[in-house]
């Protein structure tokens, strides 16, 4: 029986994935969310354990990881799904409690830190998997203005955070090569009918079912055992933006990440 942690599981893709996995009756599901009420609803429907935390706070991320480590001796799959979306015309720059641009904090720094903190559990469960829910919307970070203090838009902040997550995933996959812990990223589907997509004002393109199938494949498909350091667009392997494969970009991103964490 695999132990699987899904962040952002109180709504949207995270909730649908949890319900899909729960239907098997084969897994120990650990669900994270920020809204305890909605999280409890999903837990009641799936029989999963709940872990409330605000991922805009690095202290809360560490608390979440510590609580999971105290209660469980292994973790087979970590699905970094939680995120902050965007309004297509949004220009209001918000910061986290740590002073970081909000989307950078939640969509990038939080999953990076959570993964680091849970690596001992993932190593103990190997073969194990880290699945990063990213996006086809990708932009490189401007290292002269990593917190996007100039010409701010929510779309740009979102796309920068998602490319950073993919880039870091490639680095981590290389670091963990041969360890039994795999790291892969994906764009699950475009503009699924979720609250995040509705907030963007974009028309629905993909279905929630498509997103679940694509994400679930990275969670437990036998044919992906041992496969690591890949980016998928739906169920198909794809190429992320060029910067994700640029050693200099990844080196500078790693240095920035360490300084912010």
Which are the catalytic amino acids?
Answer: 158
Please give the helix or strand (H or E) that residue 104 lies within, else none: helix 102-104
- Report d(CA 149, CA 193) in Å as an integer: 31
The residues with which 33 forms a beta bridge, in sequence order, are 52
- Yes or no: say if 68 and 48 are a contact pair by the CB < 8 Å rule: no
Question: Up-side HSE of residue 220: CA atoms within 13 Å toward CB?
Answer: 16
Question: Whole-angstrom distance between the N-terminal and C-terminal Cα of the chain?
Answer: 33
The residues with which 2 forms a beta bridge, in sequence order, are 27
């Amino acid at each position: 029986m695999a132990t699987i942690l899904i962040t952002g599981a109180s709504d949207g893709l995270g909730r649908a994935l949890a319900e899909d996995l729960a239907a098997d009756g084969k897994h120990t599901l650990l669900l994270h969310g920020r809204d305890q009420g909605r999280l409890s609803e999903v837990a009641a429907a799936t029989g999963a354990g709940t872990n409330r935390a605000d991922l805009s706070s690095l202290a809360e991320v560490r608390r979440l990881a510590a609580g999971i480590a105290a209660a469980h001796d292994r973790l087979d799959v970590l699905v970094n799904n939680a995120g902050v979306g965007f309004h297509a015309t949004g220009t209001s720059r918000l910061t986290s409690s740590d002073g970081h641009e909000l989307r950078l904090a939640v969509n990038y720094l939080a999953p990076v830190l959570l993964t680091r903190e849970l690596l001992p559990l993932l190593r103990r469960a190997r073969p194990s998997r880290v699945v990063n829910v990213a996006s086809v919307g990708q932009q490189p970070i401007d290292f002269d203005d990593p917190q996007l203090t100039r010409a701010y838009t929510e779309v740009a902040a979102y796309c920068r955070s998602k490319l950073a997550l993919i880039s870091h995933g490639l680095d981590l996959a290389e670091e963990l090569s041969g360890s039994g812990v795999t790291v892969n990223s994906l764009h699950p589907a475009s503009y699924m009918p979720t609250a995040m997509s509705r907030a963007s004002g974009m028309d629905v393109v993909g279905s929630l079912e498509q997103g679940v199938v694509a994400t679930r494949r990275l969670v437990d498909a036998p044919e992906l055992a041992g496969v690591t350091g890949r980016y998928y667009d739906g169920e198909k392997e794809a190429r992320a933006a060029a910067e994700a494969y640029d050693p200099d970009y990844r080196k500078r991103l790693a240095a920035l990440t360490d300084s912010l964490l």
